[in-house]
């Protein structure tokens, strides 16, 4: 990914961060990504008086991924209220993993990293399908 594209992603993440609804934490977050077909998508955190109902910026980004046509993520950036690179929380790493292209690179505070570096030994659909497939074979032969 060219440096100009990373700059564009950063700018989109900052623009999304400026639209965040974060009156409780006062910690606005913006996220942006490029999809496999070249779309740029973004999202911001949306908090709630019932704190646990808060949506992270990445949740909003993944919703936009599907609302605009689906696909996989090729590059991802997330920023805090200062426009600095922010590490996605654990739950959001799992959200990103589900929709990661094999080539996905994330702009982390420590630099660019792959999804396997960001979420080592990650859980995915194959972990379910292995077990569910074998169980359905057992069930059909009973
Ligand atoms: N937050 C995100 O939007 N994404 C993350 O990956 C980390 C945390 C939000 C949730 C909450 O609105 C605020 O940051 C403080 O935790």
Mean pLDDT value across residues 25-42: 98
| Residue 24 alpha carbon, nearest atom of ligand 1 | 12
Q: Where are the beta strands (DSSP E) in 17-120?
A: 30-35, 40-44, 73-79, 100-108, 111-114
Compute the mean pLDDT over every residue in the chain, rounded to the nearest whole number.
Answer: 94
Ligand 1 centroid to Cα of residue 133, in Å, is 36
Q: Is the pLDDT of residue 12 over 90?
A: yes
Catalytic residues: 58
pLDDT digits 0-9 by tens, 118-129: 999 999 999 999
More confident residue, 135 or 82: 82
Q: Specify the residue with its C-alpha closest to ligand 1, atom 4.
A: 56
Q: Confirm if 93 and 20 have CB atoms less than 8 A apart.
A: no
pLDDT value at position 11? 98
């Amino acid at each position: 990914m060219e440096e100009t594209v990373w700059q564009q992603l950063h700018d989109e993440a900052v623009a999304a961060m400026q639209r965040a609804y974060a009156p409780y934490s006062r910690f606005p977050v913006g996220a942006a990504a490029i999809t496999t077909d070249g779309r740029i998508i973004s999202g911001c955190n949306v908090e709630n008086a019932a704190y646990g109902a808060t949506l992270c910026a990445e949740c909003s980004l993944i919703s936009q991924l599907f609302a605009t046509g689906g696909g996989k993520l090729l590059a991802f950036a997330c920023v805090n209220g200062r426009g600095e690179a922010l590490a996605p929380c654990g739950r959001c790493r799992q959200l990103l993993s589900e929709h990661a292209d094999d080539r996905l690179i994330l702009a982390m505070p420590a630099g660019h990293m792959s999804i396997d570096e960001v979420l080592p030994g990650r859980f995915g659909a194959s972990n379910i399908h292995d077990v569910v497939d074998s169980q359905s074979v057992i069930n059909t032969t009973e």
